[in-house]
Chain A
Amino acid sequence: MIVLDKVDKVFPGSNIPAVKQVSFQVDEGNICVFVGPSGCGKTTILRMINRLIEPTSGDIYIKGKKVSDKGLNPDHLRREIGYVIQQIGLLPHRTVEQNVALVPYLLKWPEENIKPRVRELLDMVGLDPDEVAQKYPFQLSGGMMQRVGVARALAADPPIMLMDEPFGAVDPIVRGRLQDEFLRLQKEMKKTICFVTHDINEAIKMGDHIVIMNKGELVQHGTPMEILSEPANSFVKDLIGTEREIKLLELTKSGEIVNKKAEIPETVRQKDCFISVIDPVQRALETMMKKDSDLVGVRDKDQEIGTISWNDIKKLINKLSGDA
């Protein structure tokens, strides 16, 4: 869907390239997260995809079409790509409704289609259209502004979204909620998303695919599981931090390690010590501690299918973390 081929970017007046020989591919319907310290080139890559800046060399393709093609007007290209930035950049002199309707207006949608679409979008991002549509940005809280920013980017239903720290400006609790809601939306929308963050936890949570950048170079890319279980070098290890095993437990579904042959003891039933197959293994651990048990039962919907014991979890950690 989106392909970068040996892309370089050197900003004028600088000797050090901001992006060096970066190649990768984002598959359709995936969230690809770029993560790395500030100045690593992740935002630069994003802004090259919708041609806010031009690469010094190398090519970028969207759906097989080169974005730098002369026939392609960059303004028109950008109207087909949703764009969310950390500072949000809502137009302060326009109402929420007008802000969300920005791209449909640029695309000259008929007036009667725009209003219902705006209401639908506000609803979708968890805002009450009757309450906020006529408000101005300064009347909104930080979390509401972020939601409006996302709604604006989604307005014309672009197949591709570029999101630069879209939940960066809100407190951790609101951020977590916005992430969950966005993942839920994405399940239905199946957009191809490039997502930039400096927070490895956000990357692991949001990403189908993670691209780790440092000093303009691509250090490692792969699924969150691959990155966590086989960090390419010490830079990636440091980025992941000390809680690698716990993060692995968050990513592994209970269904993957459930012991299906084991009987479920009566004590487990008495304590109601059950989790679902789609819960992460971490939930099994939490449940054990809460219910003071070293065994949890696993259910698939209403069916009891087996158990996970403390030993099963230890085995998993040893297997995943290898030499670490």
Chain B
Amino acid sequence: MIFASSILQWAGNIYEKYFGFVDFIIRRSERVVEYTANHFSLVITVMFFSLILWISVGLLISRYEKLANTAFGIGNILFVIPSISLFGIFITIPMLGLGRTSAALALILYAMMPMVRNVYRGIKSVEWPIIEAGRGMGMSPKQILFQIQIPIAWPIIFAGIRVTTVMITGIATVATFIGERNLGRFIHHGIARESADMIIAGAVLVSVIAILLDYILGKVEYKITSPGLRKEQEQS
């Protein structure tokens, strides 16, 4: 009996020490739901516009090679600006100010580097004989792009989309400093109040979103990638 109760006590201590954040999440469930929803919707918004914008740019520079280095340069510069200052720059712009628009725009700029680079690399990975055969069969440049280059580039483009999604989910926490009420707020306030439970709660929930999105995207990728390419990857 004594032995069993001591084990229970030990387990209780462990739980309090390391899983206190679970209590926190249950206690503050209303906030958790609100912040998680905000976080999620910000990531989705950013990814939606990033896909449209950066896939187009990636395709454009794969056609007009001269623009490629300029685009990579811009992407790299944007990527190395510390996120907190990029958010800061946006709130100084009139019309934008504190809030979602600024947060979304800054994150879309961050997405440029990994997205554009992977689209370009994917399109360029299509081997010359395949394009030559397409042309020789009488496919127009547009048909070659949509029926050959993009489908073959999918796995590489998708790798870019997945990396970007995970990355944006992480950086979005910083947007709490410019007024976003998302999971970053738990981390921020947790640091201010020296509450490990709050910090861990925020971090774990952010990770859950990232892993969940990556998992879903992985499923989508599997669905839309031709088995002819899938098998090729598995073999090599």
Q: Are B228 and A106 in contact (CB under 8 A)?
A: no
A-B contact pairs, 17 of them (CB 8 A): A50-B136, A75-B138, A75-B139, A75-B140, A85-B132, A89-B132, A89-B136, A92-B232, A93-B151, A93-B152, A93-B228, A95-B228, A102-B137, A103-B137, A106-B137, A136-B227, A139-B231
Complex contact B130–A103 (CB within 8 A):
no
Residue of A78, A87, A92 ringed by the most chain B CB atoms within 10 A: A92
**Are B151 and A138 in contact, with the CB atoms below 8 A?**
no
Q: Which residue of B has the minimal Cβ distance to A74?
A: B138
* Chain B residues within CB distance 8 Å of chain A: 127-140, 143, 147-148, 151-152, 226-229, 231-232, 235
Contact indicator B134/A85 (Cβ below 8 Å): no
Whether A137 contacts B228 in the complex (CB less than 8 A), given A88-B129, A89-B129, comes out as: yes
| A92 x B138 contact (CB < 8 A) | no
- A138:B235 contact, CB within 8 angstroms: yes
Complex CA gap A295/B137 in Å reads 53
A85 touches B136 (CB 8 A): yes
Chain B residue at smallest Cβ distance from A149: B133
Residue in A75, A89, A106 whose Cβ sees the most chain B Cβ within 10 Å: A89
Chain B residues with CB under 8 Å of A89's CB are 127, 129-134, 136
Contacts A78-B138, A91-B147 aside, 19 further interface pairs with beta carbons under 8 A come to: A78-B135, A79-B137, A85-B129, A87-B127, A89-B127, A89-B136, A91-B130, A91-B133, A91-B134, A92-B152, A92-B232, A93-B151, A102-B139, A103-B137, A136-B228, A138-B228, A138-B231, A138-B232, A139-B231
Tell me, yes or no, whether A6 is within 8 Å of chain B by CB. no
Which residues of A lie under 8 Å from residue B235 when comparing CB positions? 138
Which residues of chain A come closer than 8 Å to B127, judged between CB atoms? Answer: 87, 89
Smallest CB–CB gap between B180 and chain A, Å? 40
A152 cross-chain contacts in B, Cβ below 8 A? 137
Chain B residue numbers with a CB within 8 Å of A66 are: none
Please give the distance in Å from B102's CB to the nearest CB on chain A: 41
**Given A93-B228, A95-B228, A136-B231: A106 touches B139 (CB 8 Å cut-off):** yes
**Contacts A88-B129, A106-B143 given; does A93 touch B231 at CB 8 Å:** no
Least Cβ–Cβ distance between A310 and chain B, in angstroms? 50
Which residues on A sit within 8 Å (CB–CB) of B131?
A: 89
